């Protein structure tokens, strides 16, 4: 399926290539470069490019293009999903998926790619299995290896490969047995000019960090499972139990993983925790405009809204901005025309405000459009949908684990139109 | 040797030392050297000269060195085949190792070395590994199958045996890999799946995610070819809400099945339990975290689920929209295509397709496409309000696409046409040239639909000429006024007056349109505009641009009558004021289901009438000739098998039916060469419907040549036929001479290869060559056969599914008698009547001349004028065309 993979950095250097079948010349990437040039900015490079003899399917992650060469018919999502899994694995192994990290660990990268695909078909993509085959680099291990001469590569078949639960390895042992769940909810919203909600929904995930010995069998139940509108599961979750009892029953992978992601759709009236008052205007026939934005809290269930950041892509005609912020600091990049206002925490007594003059290119016509405001924020200890974990039970092992649940609400794609 | 320092190749010691280090007996030195070499490979540098030194280490004890040596070997073995052979014995030993990981990796490397000499060794190794105790080794064997196949496709038969064996494997580990091998090596051997179908359905949920994708895609194809379409009605007749025509057939014997076929037709559709099993077992996978799995299930449901159940996929697809932008792109492409066919499914999620200013342009445009597809009477006001915000966007490409989308909404939903038009008219004052140009183009298209009702807008646009400076927009407005000058009789001359005044300052495209407007006005309203036109043409005559000068000269000649002006002058009005067809605004995703496009979409969306039915119960005839995967072309493995390839018919065509003497109806003659074109020689032809003597695969064409000249025509003959591949011509014997006023009749034979492609050839006389072509009506490509009622039913029972085409029709007054119906059908096609017990049902049978495929026609006359025509033929194209022709014949 996947014939070859090329990793390309932003300046167009091919810094890694791997072939799973016969070698495909680097020149095939020229088609990609051509498309990249046509697309102007990186986001608009089409993920599927057809060339006379191959198809190129690419993803863009962390300033690297992963370009795969395909010769037979294959669902594009199959390849895209796999490439993202590769990037995730690099992230997992090296802490970051950057060009330097990959170049520094090129041998491990090669060994990983060799294990992940056989003849272009995915072989082992579970992080638990890969880590048994190829141990992630740590300083301690490289010191030990250079003294003892042992290697990073395992010589037995990972236990997961054979079992029905490939995501977990056998013989896990911890002195402190812990299970943590982070319920993270993001609000996607479009707010229109007048402040009414055009569209809003909640995208939630439960990320887990499970460090439990042996083969624990976990049951996680919610106070209000009906809230979850559409759920996607980690393969470890028993679907039938969810269907019939609405509990999550699973033998977890070892370590960090995403247990479920879910959606609470707009039908259930999503509470919007902040409001924005804005006045942005450009005067006809003059080279200036006014900018006045205030952010205030709303429906936040008594919790503080913090980590507020506002980014605005100003129109091209804007030369500079002279603003004063009552709170936090702002920057305006005259090249990209991006205004960023780092507000911090919102205190209801004194609402943060950013106000001032916009300088326009003289002679240029007044911009017709007002920019939309992208807001980020964070609320600790709150799941905005009201989702609550009821209890976590463990079967199959004797010890008592330490359990913890953390809630957090963030802004996802939160946009205010002006 | 730590990763970080040793790996960077350029800083390492000089090259020579690599091979020295590989020769040393210290593993750590070897490892360091190997790491450096692999780093070189990774950067695309050539390291092939180290082959001899590296290959020696293939038996190294250190597992990491060994693995890196494998990496090297797989990369360079193809280039250094002889040296690579040195390593083979190590792998052969590895294949017997007690450790399953070593057995598996030995097989992996052995099968990855692309050296043709070792094919027999590989074959043996795969066969052995396929019955290994360890499922992991068996999985590796499954992976090795496509590798060997790509190296040597002659091994196909043996490999299929291995695939068959592995398909029977009950472990989830093997399932995905072996289906992958099946898809690459022998996708046409659908019969291998029959006995494993239920097992695969049941294992599916436990298979790893990549295997799931492959299995689901394979099962989708399987089900589309083996089960009845749950939405058959819909695909046959878009609006027909009648009960299903086809029933399920579970009878044991074929004969009973055929007998029941006609009965079953009246039974409502019942889903096969196995079909249901597939739908039930795949549904939970919509909850998968893997977008490819979700999409595969969505695709399966889209094609195979009854209409009422398809809705479940919408929610999952909308969820994927939150994923990486590449995933979003592919999903939106699919949603755009699906939403054309099933709009209702995505309607509840309308708002999920709203566009954010931060979306990349390609995503914005796809979302726009979906929103437009979803627009209907109830939600159009919301959508238009949303579009209004988009129009103010900074992204001008996106604004242009939005304007196009508004145009499409306006054409599709009559209610909002005026609102849209007004909105678009306002956009004409936009500062951006692209926006104005796009609006003008869309307005122009909308106005072309009902120009009469919109003289107000045309007037409004006429006023805009004072303000709008964008040349493209000015030109478009002038064109509109010229085109519809009769709707704005008072304004048009005034606009021309103004334009004449400013003519010299206009851009070239505007000038051209001014001339155009002047010409049109001159023709319709010469009293008011004669002088103006003269003035404009005079100005244009001395313009700097030669295009404009040319145009002025041309138009003056055309419209102003002078003594010298030619015949065209009379037609000037027709030339300029011909009715121009309104352009059609529709989704670019509609009907563009070409393989390439589909591939880009990641989902095969063929309309449901491509559903192929081949009833599954009962074993398949042995050795179904299906195209080998090679000749299917690179990207067609997803496409359902063309039924033409499922030809177990040849045996039948040699079957017991005798050829009937042709039914003589009124034979229609066609013109081959007109008297004028043939300079007095006129040629007509007809299809005599007699078997062509000498070659039964040829259609006999009777040709009548008349000489209307007053001279003798000599040596009339056919020459230089230009034919498509496979077509043949048997020329008529040369006619020595044809006296003036005489007529000669000859017969020639043409093998059209069962296609309606024309046969082109030259008709030569002693002086001239005439290019002529004979295009057969589809009804002439067959010869009647006789069969009994039972035989007819039996054969019809075998030709269902994709091979069956049904159409409803209304019989006109004069066609409502037995005689008339038979007469019309037999005149449209060369078919023989088959006796029929039932009243009001008419059956005809024929077989195609070239391949002898059966063509069965059934006409069912219901109450009044309603009737239903069914054609069964494995030649789908012929069937479709025949239905059309017969309906046309009956309608006359």
B846-882 pLDDT, tens per residue? 888 888 888 888 888 887 778 888 888 888 888 888 8
Contact A390, A221 (CB under 8 A): yes
Locate B90 and state its tokens.
Answer: 């190590």
End-to-end Cα separation, chain B, in angstroms = 89
Residue of A77, A157, A164 lying closest to B291 (CB–CB) = A77
Contact B319 A263 (CB under 8 A): yes
Contact A146 B1 (CB under 8 A): yes
Residue tagged 């809003």 (tokens): A200
Q: What is the pLDDT of residues B692-717, one digit of tens each?
A: 777 778 888 888 888 888 888 888 88
Q: Which of B28, B289, B381 to mutate to test the interface with A (most CBs of A within 10 A)?
A: B289
Distances (CA, A) of A9 to A15, A19, A62: 7, 18, 10
Q: Flag whether pLDDT at A186 surpasses 50.
A: yes
Question: Torsion angle of alpha carbons B354, B357, B360, B366, nearest 10°?
Answer: 30
Report if pTM > 0.90. Answer: no
Whether chain B has a CB inside 8 Å of the CB on A145: the answer is: yes
Residue B126: the pLDDT is 92
B832: nearest Cα among B805, B862, B802, B854: B854
Which residues of chain A neighbour B351 with C-beta distances below 8 Å? Answer: 198-199, 266
Whether chain A has a CB inside 8 Å of the CB on B31: the answer is: yes
Q: What is the pLDDT of residues A168-183, one digit of tens each?
A: 877 788 888 999 999 9
Which of the four pLDDT bands, split at 50, 70 and 90, describes residue A151? low
Whether chain A has a CB inside 8 Å of the CB on B790: the answer is: no
Phi and psi based region of residue B694 (left: phi greater than 0; alpha: psi -120 to 50; beta: remaining): left
CA gap B273, B275 in Å, rounded = 5
Whether chain B has a CB inside 8 Å of the CB on A27: the answer is: no
What is the torsional sign of CA B563, B568, B574, B577? negative
The angle at the Cα of A373, spanning A367 to A379, to the nearest 5 degrees, equals 175
Which of the four pLDDT bands, split at 50, 70 and 90, describes residue A69? very high
Contact B351 A73 (CB under 8 A): no
Residue tagged 């370009």 (tokens): A67
Contact B212, B293 (CB under 8 A): yes
Contact A270, A263 (CB under 8 A): no
Higher pLDDT among residues B595 and B469, named by residue: B469
Beta bridge partners of B405: none
Q: What is the pLDDT of residues A376-402, one digit of tens each?
A: 999 998 888 888 999 899 988 888 889
Q: Taking the CB of residue B453, how many other CB atoms lie within 10 A of it?
A: 12
Q: Flag whether pLDDT at B13 surpasses 80.
A: no
The CA-based diameter of chain A, rounded to the nearest angstrom, is: 78
Phi and psi based region of residue A396 (left: phi greater than 0; alpha: psi -120 to 50; beta: remaining): left
Residue of A110, A199, A201 lying closest to B38 (CB–CB) = A110
Residue B616: the pLDDT is 34
Which residues of chain B neighbour A122 with C-beta distances below 8 Å? Answer: 210
Which of the four pLDDT bands, split at 50, 70 and 90, describes residue B482? confident
Residue B731: the pLDDT is 83
Helix axes B471-483, B455-464, angle to 10 degrees: 140
- The strand pair at B782-784 and B804-810 is best described as unpaired
DSSP 8-state class, residue A181: E
Contact B210 A125 (CB under 8 A): yes
Contact A365 B150 (CB under 8 A): no
- Return all residues near B291 (Cβ < 8 A) that are at least 6 apart: A77, A80, A81, B320, B323, B327, B331
Phi and psi based region of residue B602 (left: phi greater than 0; alpha: psi -120 to 50; beta: remaining): left
* Average pLDDT value for residue range A313-324: 87
Whether chain B has a CB inside 8 Å of the CB on A47: the answer is: yes
Higher pLDDT among residues B649 and B493, named by residue: B493
Which of the four pLDDT bands, split at 50, 70 and 90, describes residue B11? very low
Contact B392 A81 (CB under 8 A): no
Contact A80 B114 (CB under 8 A): no
Contact B326 A263 (CB under 8 A): no
CA gap B374, B387 in Å, rounded = 13
CA gap B126, B347 in Å, rounded = 51
- Return all residues near B621 (Cβ < 8 A) that are at least 6 apart: B648
Q: Flag whether pLDDT at B12 surpasses 70.
A: no
Which of the four pLDDT bands, split at 50, 70 and 90, describes residue B2? very low
* Average pLDDT value for residue range B84-90: 84
Residue tagged 């405001």 (tokens): A373
Q: Flag whether pLDDT at A208 surpasses 60.
A: yes
User: Based on C-alpha coordinates, what's the Rg of chain A?
Assistant: 25
Q: Flag whether pLDDT at B384 surpasses 50.
A: yes
Which of the four pLDDT bands, split at 50, 70 and 90, describes residue B477? confident
Please report which helix (H) or strand (E) contains residue B771, including its range.
Answer: strand B769-774
Segment 357-376 of chain A within 8 Å of chain B by CB: 365, 367-372, 374
Contact B824, B838 (CB under 8 A): no
Which of the four pLDDT bands, split at 50, 70 and 90, describes residue B569? confident
Q: Flag whether pLDDT at B623 surpasses 50.
A: no
Contact B799, B854 (CB under 8 A): yes
Whether chain B has a CB inside 8 Å of the CB on A253: the answer is: no
Q: Taking the CB of residue A24, how many other CB atoms lie within 10 A of it?
A: 18
Which residues of chain A neighbour B388 with C-beta distances below 8 Å? Answer: none
Higher pLDDT among residues B324 and B234, named by residue: B324
Q: Flag whether pLDDT at B109 surpasses 60.
A: yes
Q: Taking the CB of residue B294, how many other CB atoms lie within 10 A of it?
A: 26
Q: How many helices (H) and strands (E) does chain A have?
A: 8, 23
Shortest Cα distance from A96 to chain B (angstroms)? 15
Contact B291 A369 (CB under 8 A): no
Residue B564: the pLDDT is 66
Residue of A15, A77, A166 lying closest to B43 (CB–CB) = A15
Whether chain A has a CB inside 8 Å of the CB on B134: the answer is: yes
Whether chain A has a CB inside 8 Å of the CB on B640: the answer is: no
DSSP 8-state class, residue A335: T
Residue B638: the pLDDT is 30
* Average pLDDT value for residue range B272-282: 90
Highest mean pLDDT among B47-51, B366-370, B654-658: B366-370
Whether chain A has a CB inside 8 Å of the CB on B237: the answer is: no
* Average pLDDT value for residue range B794-798: 83
Q: Flag whether pLDDT at B186 surpasses 50.
A: yes
Which residues of chain A neighbour B209 with C-beta distances below 8 Å? Answer: 235
Whether chain A has a CB inside 8 Å of the CB on B847: the answer is: no
Whether chain A has a CB inside 8 Å of the CB on B114: the answer is: yes
Whether chain A has a CB inside 8 Å of the CB on B184: the answer is: yes
CA gap B390, A43 in Å, rounded = 19
Whether chain B has a CB inside 8 Å of the CB on A104: the answer is: yes
Q: What is the DSSP string of A84-151?
A: HHHHHHHHHHHSS--HHHHHHTHHHHHHHHHHHEETTEE----HHHHHHHBPPP-HHHHHHHHHH---
Which residues of chain A neighbour B30 with C-beta distances below 8 Å? Answer: none
Residue of B43, B70, B638 lying closest to A16 (CB–CB) = B43
Contact B289 A15 (CB under 8 A): no
CA gap B235, B417 in Å, rounded = 30
- Return all residues near B381 (Cβ < 8 A) that are at least 6 apart: B416
Nearest CA in chain A to B635: A73
**Could you tell me how many residues make up chain A?**
418
| A-B Cβ pairs (cutoff 8 Å, strict) | 248
Q: What is the pLDDT of residues A254-285, one digit of tens each?
A: 888 899 999 887 555 688 888 899 988 887 77
Highest mean pLDDT among A156-160, B508-512, B871-875: B508-512
Contact B772, B721 (CB under 8 A): no
% of chain B at pLDDT higher than 90: 13
Distances (CA, A) of A238 to A244, A296, B309: 11, 43, 23
Residue of A84, A106, A413 lying closest to B7 (CB–CB) = A106
CA B304 to chain centre: 19
The per-residue pLDDT of chain B, averaged, comes to 78
Whether chain A has a CB inside 8 Å of the CB on B60: the answer is: no
Residue of A44, A75, A110 lying closest to B213 (CB–CB) = A75
Residue tagged 């090249």 (tokens): A335
CA gap B745, B706 in Å, rounded = 9
Contact B245, B609 (CB under 8 A): no
Higher pLDDT among residues B35 and B660, named by residue: B35
Which residues of chain A neighbour B208 with C-beta distances below 8 Å? Answer: 166, 235
Whether chain A has a CB inside 8 Å of the CB on B206: the answer is: yes
* Average pLDDT value for residue range B659-666: 38
The per-residue pLDDT of chain A, averaged, comes to 86
Residue A8: the pLDDT is 92
Please report which helix (H) or strand (E) contains residue B482, including its range.
Answer: helix B471-483
Contact B351 A266 (CB under 8 A): yes
Shortest Cα distance from A339 to chain B (angstroms)? 14
Which residues of chain A neighbour B354 with C-beta distances below 8 Å? Answer: 190, 198-199
Locate B827 and state its tokens.
Answer: 């005149």
Residue of A21, A59, A155 lying closest to B101 (CB–CB) = A155
Which of the four pLDDT bands, split at 50, 70 and 90, describes residue B267? low
């Amino acid at each position: 399926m996947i014939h070859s993979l090329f990793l390309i950095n932003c300046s167009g250097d091919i810094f890694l290539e791997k072939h799973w079948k016969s070698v495909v010349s680097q020149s095939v990437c020229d088609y990609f470069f051509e498309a990249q040039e046509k697309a102007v900015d990186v986001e608009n490079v089409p993920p599927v490019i057809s060339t006379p003899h191959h198809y190129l399917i690419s993803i863009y992650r962390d300033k690297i293009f992963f370009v795969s060469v395909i010769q037979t018919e294959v669902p594009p999502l199959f390849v895209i999903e796999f490439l993202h899994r590769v990037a995730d694995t690099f992230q997992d192994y090296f802490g970051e998926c950057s060009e330097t990290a990959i170049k520094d660990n090129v041998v491990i990268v090669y060994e990983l790619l060799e294990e992940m695909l056989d003849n272009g078909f995915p072989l082992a993509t579970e992080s638990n299995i890969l880590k048994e085959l190829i141990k992630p680099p740590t300083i301690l291990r490289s010191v030990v290896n250079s003294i003892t001469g042992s290697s990073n590569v395992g010589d037995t078949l990972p236990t997961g490969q054979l079992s029905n639960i490939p995501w977990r390895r056998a013989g896990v042992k911890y002195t402190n047995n812990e299970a943590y769940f982070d319920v993270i909810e993001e609000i996607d919203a479009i707010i229109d000019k007048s402040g009414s909600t055009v569209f809003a929904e909640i995208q939630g995930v439960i990320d887990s960090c499970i460090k439990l010995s042996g083969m624990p069998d976990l049951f996680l139940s919610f106070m209000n499972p009906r809230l979850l509108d559409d759920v996607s599961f980690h393969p470890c979750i028993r679907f039938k139990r969810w269907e019939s009892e609405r509990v999550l029953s699973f033998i977890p992978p070892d370590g960090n993983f995403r247990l479920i992601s879910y959606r609470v759709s707009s039908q259930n009236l999503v509470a919007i925790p902040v409001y924005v008052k804005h006045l942005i205007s450009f005067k006809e026939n003059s080279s200036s405009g006014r900018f006045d934005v205030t952010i205030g809290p709303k429906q936040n269930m008594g919790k503080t809204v913090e980590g507020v950041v506002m980014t605005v892509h100003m129109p091209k005609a804007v030369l500079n901005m002279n603003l004063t912020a009552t709170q936090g600091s702002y920057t305006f990049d005259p090249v990209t025309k991006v205004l960023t206002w780092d507000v911090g925490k919102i205190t209801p007594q004194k609402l943060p405000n950013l106000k001032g003059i916009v300088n326009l290119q003289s002679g240029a016509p007044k911009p017709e459009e007002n920019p939309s405001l992208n807001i980020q924020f964070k609320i600790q200890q709150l799941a905005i949908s009201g989702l609550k974990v009821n209890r976590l039970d463990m079967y199959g092992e004797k010890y008592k684990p330490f359990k913890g649940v953390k809630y957090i609400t963030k802004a996802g794609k939160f946009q205010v139109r002006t | 040797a730590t990763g970080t320092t040793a790996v960077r190749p350029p800083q390492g010691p000089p090259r020579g030392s690599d091979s020295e280090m590989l020769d040393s007996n210290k593993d750590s030195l070897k490892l360091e050297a190997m790491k450096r070499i692999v780093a070189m490979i990774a950067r695309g540098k050539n390291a092939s000269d180290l082959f001899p030194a590296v290959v020696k280490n293939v038996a190294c004890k250190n597992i990491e060195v060994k693995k890196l040596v494998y990496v090297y070997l797989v990369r360079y073995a193809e280039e250094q085949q002889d040296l690579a052979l040195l390593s083979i014995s190590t792998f052969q030993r590895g294949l017997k190792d007690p450790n399953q990981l070593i057995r598996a990796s030995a097989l992996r490397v052995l099968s990855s070395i692309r050296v043709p000499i070792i094919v027999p060794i590989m074959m043996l190794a795969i066969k052995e590994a396929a019955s290994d105790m360890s499922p992991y080794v068996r999985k590796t064997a499954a992976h090795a199958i496509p590798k060997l196949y790509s190296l040597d496709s002659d091994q196909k038969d043996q490999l299929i045996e291995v695939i068959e064996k592995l398909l029977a494997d009950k472990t989830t580990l093997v399932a995905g890999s072996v289906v992958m091998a099946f898809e690459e090596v022998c996708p046409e051997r659908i019969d291998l799946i029959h006995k494993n179908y239920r097992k695969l359905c049941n294992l599916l949920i436990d298979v790893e995610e990549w295997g799931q994708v492959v299995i689901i895609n394979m099962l989708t194809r399987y089900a589309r070819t083996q089960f009845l379409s749950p939405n058959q009605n819909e695909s046959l007749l878009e609006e027909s809400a009648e009960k299903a025509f086809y029933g399920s057939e579970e009878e044991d014997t074929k004969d009973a099945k055929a007998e029941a076929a006609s009965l079953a037709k009246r039974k409502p559709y019942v889903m096969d339990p196995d079909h249901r099993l597939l739908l039930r077992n795949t549904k939970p996978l919509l909850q998968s975290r893997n977008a490819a799995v979700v999409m595969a299930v969505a695709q399966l449901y889209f094609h195979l689920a009854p209409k009422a159940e398809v809705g479940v996929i919408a929610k999952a697809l909308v969820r994927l929209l939150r994923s990486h932008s590449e995933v979003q792109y592919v999903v939106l492409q699919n949603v755009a295509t699906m939403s054309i066919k099933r709009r209702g499914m995505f309607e509840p999620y309308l708002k999920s397709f709203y566009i954010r200013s931060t979306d990349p342009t390609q995503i914005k445009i796809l979302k726009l496409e979906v929103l437009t597809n979803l627009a209907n009477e109830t939600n159009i006001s919301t959508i238009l309000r949303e579009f209004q915000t988009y129009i103010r966007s900074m992204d001008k490409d996106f604004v242009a696409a939005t304007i196009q989308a508004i145009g499409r909404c306006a054409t599709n939903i009559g209610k909002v046409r005026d609102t849209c038009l007004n909105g678009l008219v306002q956009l004409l004052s936009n500062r951006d040239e692209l926006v104005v140009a796009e609006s003008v183009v869309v307005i122009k298209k909308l106005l072309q639909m009902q120009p009469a009702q919109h003289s107000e807008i045309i007037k409004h646009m006429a006023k805009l000429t004072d303000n709008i400076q964008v040349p493209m927009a000015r030109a478009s407005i002038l064109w509109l006024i010229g085109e519809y000058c009769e709707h704005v009789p008072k304004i048009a001359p005034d606009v021309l007056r103004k334009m004449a005044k400013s003519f010299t300052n206009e851009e070239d495209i505007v000038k051209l349109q001014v001339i155009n407007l002047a010409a049109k006005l001159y023709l319709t309203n010469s009293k008011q505009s004669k002088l103006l036109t003269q003035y404009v043409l005079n100005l244009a005559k001395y313009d700097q641009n030669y295009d404009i000068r040319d145009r002025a000269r041309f138009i003056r000649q055309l419209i102003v009558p002078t003594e010298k002006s030619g015949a065209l002058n009379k037609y000037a009005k027709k030339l300029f004021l011909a009715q121009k067809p309104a352009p059609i605004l529709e989704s670019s995703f509609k009907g563009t289901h070409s393989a390439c496009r589909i591939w880009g979409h990641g989902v095969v969306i063929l309309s449901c009438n491509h559903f192929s039915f081949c009833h599954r119960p009962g074993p398949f005839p042995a050795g179904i000739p299906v195209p080998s995967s090679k000749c299917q072309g690179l990207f067609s493995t997803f496409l359902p098998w063309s039924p033409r390839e499922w030809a177990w018919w040849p045996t039948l065509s040699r079957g017991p039916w005798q050829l009937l003497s042709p039914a003589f109806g009124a034979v229609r003659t066609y013109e081959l060469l007109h008297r004028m074109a043939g300079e007095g020689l006129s040629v007509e032809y007809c299809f005599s419907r007699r078997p062509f003597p000498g070659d039964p695969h040829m259609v006999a064409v009777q040709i009548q040549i008349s000489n209307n000249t007053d001279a003798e025509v000599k040596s009339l003959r056919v020459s230089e036929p230009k034919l498509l591949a496979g077509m043949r011509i048997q020329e008529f014997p040369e006619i020595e001479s044809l006296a003036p006023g005489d007529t000669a009749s000859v017969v020639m034979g043409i093998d059209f290869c069962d296609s309606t492609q024309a046969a082109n050839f030259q008709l030569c006389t002693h002086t001239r060559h005439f290019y002529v072509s004979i295009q057969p009506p589809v009804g002439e490509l067959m010869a009647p056969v006789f069969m009994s009622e039972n035989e007819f039913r039996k054969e019809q029972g075998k030709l269902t599914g994709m091979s069956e085409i049904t159409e409803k029709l209304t019989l006109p007054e004069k066609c409502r008698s037995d005689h008339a119906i038979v007469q019309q059908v037999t005149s449209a096609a060369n078919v023989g009547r088959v006796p029929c017990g039932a009243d009001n049902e008419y059956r005809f049978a024929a077989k195609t001349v070239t391949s002898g495929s059966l063509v069965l026609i059934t006409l069912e006359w219901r109450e009044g004028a309603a009737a239903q025509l069914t054609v069964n033929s494995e030649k789908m194209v012929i069937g479709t065309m025949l239905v059309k022709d017969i309906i046309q014949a009956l309608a006359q």
